[in-house]
Chain A
Amino acid sequence: MHGFSPEIWQSLGLTIELASVTTVILLIVGTPLAWWLARSKSLWTEAVAAMIALPLVLPPTVLSFYLLALLGPNGPVGLLASLWGGRTLAFTFAGLVVGSVLSALPLVVQPIRNTFAAMGDRPLEIAATLRASPLYAFFTVALPLARPGLLTAAVLGFAHTIGTFGVVLMIGGNIPGRTKVLSAFLFDFVQESRWREASWLAGAMLMFAVAVVLALTLIDKYSRRRST
């Protein structure tokens, strides 16, 4: 397609891999976290919620800076990694995943938390009076009912990771084939004044963004129709 180099295709694969792995981790981590935030009466919830929301207002470079410090060879996590033979998480795919997860976490936790909160206690209480243990009720009632929220969260998390840039440059180090994702490629094209490739890439990513927004609207509509 219009002379996209093999590196671009490789980068696209990497981008999708990063977004997929990140989304799966986000859902696995975010769902119980959102559940706890929505249902716990503890005072800690708001403090934790604020911590999770930080990446929304923090410049990605600041977040990445602290992550580097944490994950680098001299950081606590880096030291921990060295115990089981790892060198460092900085400038690796794994480090990129950690950075992407943290920066997209608020976007994922918030819609799931809202869905759980809107659900209220009622369906779970009813499940309990029908002999459902809390765990069984979570999987058979809470999760299916939260499906629209989970879908929204997954789409947002995936899309945000596709578009991630600051974290990629800072933590990933923009290494071709290993951590160089599409948004970083676009930056390089512009740097090198390769406008034609840049416009094709930007256009494709624009179309993707439109598709994401459209998908979100459709999910919203679908869930509203179901609930009435």
Chain B
Amino acid sequence: MRTATPGRIEIALSGSIASFPLDTRFSVPAKGVAAIFGPPGCGKTAVARCIAGLERLPAGFCAIDGEVWQDKTTFRPPHLRSIGYVSQEASLFPHLSVRRNLLYGAPKPKPTPIAFDEVLELLDLAPLLDRSPSHLSGGERQRVAMGRALLSQPRLLVMDEPLGALDSCAKREILPFVERLPEKLALPMIYIGHDMAEIERFADHLVMMERGMVTAAGPLHVLQTDPALPLAASREAAISLDAVVSGYDGRYGLLILRLKGARLLVPAPPLAPGVHQRLRIAAYDVSVAREAPRAGSILNVFPARIRACLPLGAAEITLVLALGAGGSGTEILARITRFSFDSLGLKDGVDVFAQLKHVSLLSTSEPPLQTIPASTPTADRGDRQATPRRETRSSAREASGIFLSLHSCRATHVT
């Protein structure tokens, strides 16, 4: 008999549900967000239902952080699994108010580890409490459903396409709340989705599925840059990274972030050193040069080595680059034309310079600092307030082509 490993979420399901064959095995850390990603109809929801115990495959194994929920001899019914389950439809109980919906699964003896007031604040539910579910918008309903799941004090939160039934407007409204959950609660989460743009914002691990089978599983960043997988070769290819804040240049409003093999400068509000910041770097925002650019507006230029070349359509190529001299650092993606590829004579193993035109900062685990860290010599209030304006000014200088890498050197000295 299989034994459960503490610290892991282990799932092994094989059999068929309503004549849909499923053969899904994966193991992800019971910490952070693991996303299950795949096209619609690939069996993602079936996996979620099996984890919740709503579906039973006789030859299944399901263990959460050392606690076996299902194996050959045991099958815990859903109400005995400490799971928080949020599905595509909010499925609020129409006969109960928002408050009573929220408290439906909450254990009676208080206090609880996930407190009622905390959830209200996290999901901004206080204004909705005494309303009836029929008077809520789609986004509000989904927030209540999340709050209700959290208040049942789960050990694992499973979200099955929680944004799937929402229009793009409601999605934008609710996505920040979804992103905040894993940061604020030390609760492992399985997020199921078919939209990479959502997943890359907050997932740590990725399980890719197709036709009921797992095609790849691992840390998100590793799969994003794996040349053998479709992610890197897709048109929306991007990488998600967790960088560490190492300082702030108050004079120019630039956040200094450390990655393996690179030091990034990004126009942003200040953050305390040591904070982890999620970054997204799209392949089309990265270009390459054979020689170090002597004068240019792009702040982030790093030596890198080409690890793989993936054709994208007839005219373009996506490069997998490893940052750092000798290519020992973090891997990123770059999108260039086939024309440039040939004329620069690029191939695997060639050393180049990666130029990062744009780096997006995603959710932060901490709110922006109210005071600028003492390490920045020119810190003052005016400077911080001017940050957004400076951002536009800096892009204007980029356009004029005289704002150069000299600036990046100075900024590095600041820390």
Q: Is the CB of A122 within 8 A of B95?
A: no
Cα-based distance from A131 to B78 in the complex (angstroms): 7
| Interface residue A42 (Cβ < 8 Å from any Cβ of B) | no
Chain B residues near A141 (CB-CB < 8 A): 93
- Known A-B contacts A123-B93, A145-B94, A226-B94; the reply to A129 vs B134 at CB < 8 A is no
**Total chain A interface residues with beta-carbon distance under 8 A:** 21
Q: Mark B63-87, 1 if CB is under 8 A from A, else 0.
A: 0000000000000011111111101
Q: Are A145 and B95 in contact (CB under 8 A)?
A: yes
Cα A228 to Cα B89 with chains together (Å): 15
Contact of B93 with A129 in the complex, beta carbons under 8 Å: no
Nearest-Cβ distance from residue B259 to partner chain A, whole angstroms: 39
Q: Report the bound CA distance from A147 to B83 in whole Å.
A: 29
Q: Is residue A125 contacting chain B, with contact meaning CB distance below 8 A?
A: yes
For chain B, the count of residues having a C-beta within 8 Å of the partner chain is 25
Q: A132-B79, A141-B93, A144-B95 are in contact. Are A125 and B54 (CB under 8 A)?
A: yes
Alpha-carbon distance between A228 and B134 when the two chains are bound, in angstroms = 7
Chain A residue at minimum C-beta to C-beta distance from B89: A122
Contact of A125 among B78, B82, B134, B148 (CB under 8 A): B78
Is B105 interfacial (CB-CB < 8 Å)? yes
Interface residues of A in 136-160 (CB under 8 A from B): 137, 140-141, 144-145, 147
> Which chain B residue has the least Cβ–Cβ distance from A125?
B54
B360 within 8 A of A: no
Q: Is A47's CB within 8 Å of the partner chain B?
A: no
Q: Given the complex of chains A and B, what is the CA–CA distance between A140 and B105 in angstroms?
A: 11
Given contacts A226-B134, A228-B134, contact A128 B78 (CB under 8 A): yes
Q: Is the CB of A127 within 8 A of B54?
A: no
Whole-angstrom CA separation of A114 from B78 in the bound complex: 26
A-B Cβ contacts below 8 A, count:
58
Q: Is A227 an interface residue (CB 8 A)?
A: yes
What secondary structure prevails in chain A residues at the interface with B? Answer: helix
User: Which of B87, B95, B152 contacts A131, CB < 8 Å?
Assistant: B152
Q: How far, in Å, is B135 (CB) from chain A's closest CB?
A: 11
Determine whether B334 belongs to the interface, using a CB cutoff of 8 Å to chain A. Answer: no
A43 at the interface (CB under 8 A from B): no
Nearest CB on B from A222, distance (A): 13
Contact B85 A126 (CB under 8 A): yes
- Asked if B52 CB lies within 8 Å of chain A CBs, one says yes
Q: Which residue of A lies closest to B148 (CB)?
A: A130
Please, which residues of chain A bring their CB within 8 A of the CB of B148?
Answer: 130
Known contacts A226-B134, A228-B134; is A129 also within 8 Å of B78 by CB? yes
Say whether A129 contacts B85, CB under 8 Å: yes
| Pair A130/B152 contact, Cβ less than 8 Å | yes
Judged by a CB distance under 8 angstroms, whether A217 is at the interface is: no
CB of B149 closer than 8 Å to a CB of A: yes
Of chain A, the residue at the smallest CB distance from B145 is A126
B403 in contact (CB, < 8 A): no
Q: Answer yes or no: A74 CB below 8 A from chain B CBs.
A: no
* Nearest-CB residue, chain A, relative to B132: A226
Chain A CB within 8 A of B104 CB: yes
**Residue A133 at the B interface, CB < 8 A?**
yes
Shortest beta-carbon distance from A163 to chain B in Å: 32
Q: B83 near A129 (CB under 8 angstroms)?
A: yes
Checking B94, B95, B149 against A129 with a beta-carbon cut-off of 8 angstroms, the contacting residue is B149
Query: B residues within 8 A CB of A127?
Result: 79, 93, 104
- CB neighbours (8 Å) of B105 from chain A are 129-132
**In the complex, B395 has a CB within 8 A of chain A:** no
Asked whether any CB of chain A lies closer than 8 Å to the CB of B415, the reply is no
- Cα-based distance from A137 to B78 in the complex (angstroms): 12
Contact with B along A205-228 (1 / 0, CB 8 A): 000000000000000000000111
Which residues of chain B come closer than 8 Å to A147, judged between CB atoms?
A: 95
On chain B, the residues within 8 Å of A128 by CB distance are 53-54, 77-79
A-B contact list, 26 entries, CB within 8 Å:
A122-B91, A125-B54, A125-B78, A126-B85, A126-B87, A126-B91, A129-B79, A129-B83, A129-B85, A129-B149, A130-B79, A130-B148, A130-B149, A131-B80, A131-B107, A131-B152, A132-B104, A132-B105, A133-B79, A134-B79, A141-B93, A145-B94, A145-B95, A226-B134, A227-B94, A228-B134
A residues apposed to B, CB below 8 Å: 122-123, 125-134, 137, 140-141, 144-145, 147, 226-228
Q: Which 6 A-B pairs have the closest CB atoms?
A: A130-B105, A129-B85, A128-B78, A144-B95, A128-B79, A126-B91
Besides A129-B54, A227-B94, 11 other CB < 8 A contacts?
Answer: A122-B89, A123-B91, A123-B93, A125-B54, A126-B87, A128-B77, A129-B149, A130-B79, A131-B80, A133-B79, A134-B79
